[in-house]
Amino acid sequence: MFSFCRPEEAHDEHLRLLAWQEEMLAKVEVPYRVIDVAAGDLGSSAARKYDCEAWVPSQGRYREVTSTSNCTTFQARRLGIRYRDAEGRTQTAATLNGTLGTTRWLIPILENHQLPDGSVRVPKALQPYLGGRDLLEPA
C-alpha cells in the first residue's frame, strides 16, 4: 500500500492503513498483536512504524506479517513529490507505505486453523475464494 497526503494528515492516514491491516487479520481469524516499533529500530526514512505480528503455533511466538510506515516528508523531498495547496503554492507531500496481503500470512492462517486430523478450517472470509469450502482435508 502506498499513500500520499498533506503532512498534517499523515498521522491519521497512518492509523487508517494500520486499521486495514488489523481488519484483514481479524477477518482471517488469526491471533495478532500490534507493535509500535521503537525509534532505534526504524529505518532512516520512517518517522513511525507499526508491525502486525501473527501467532505461529509451531514456533510458539508471534511473527511479523505486515508493517506500515509514516515517512513524513523524508522520501517526498528526495523524490520531489509535491502538491499544490488551496492557495496554489507548491508543498512537499507526506508519504506512507505498508504491506497487506503477503505470503507471510499463509503459515499463521494454516496453523491457527488446523484441526487434530490435519484438516484446516477455512475462515469465513476466505471461503468465497475456495468455492465455498469450509474445510480443507488432507489427501
Convert the pLDDT of each residue in 85-135 to its tens digit: 999 999 999 999 999 878 999 999 999 999 999 999 999 999 999 999 999
Q: Options 3.30.930.10, 3.40.50.1100, 3.90.180.10, 3.40.50.12780; which CATH number does 2-136 get?
A: 3.30.930.10
Convert the pLDDT of each residue in 64-74 to its tens digit: 999 999 999 99
Rounded to 10 degrees, the C-alpha dihedral 75/78/80/84 comes to: 50
Q: What is the pLDDT of residue 101?
A: 76
Domain segments of the chain: what residues?
2-136
Q: What is the pLDDT of residue 79?
A: 94
Convert the pLDDT of each residue in 1-48 to its tens digit: 999 999 999 999 999 999 999 999 999 999 999 999 999 898 888 999
Cα 2 from chain centre: 11
Q: What is the pLDDT of residue 43?
A: 84
**Element counts in the chain: helices (H) and strands (E):** 3, 9
Comparing CA positions, the residue from 37, 52, 39, 45 lying closest to residue 70 is 45
Name the grid cell of 20: 486495514
Find residue 92's DSSP bridge partners. 82
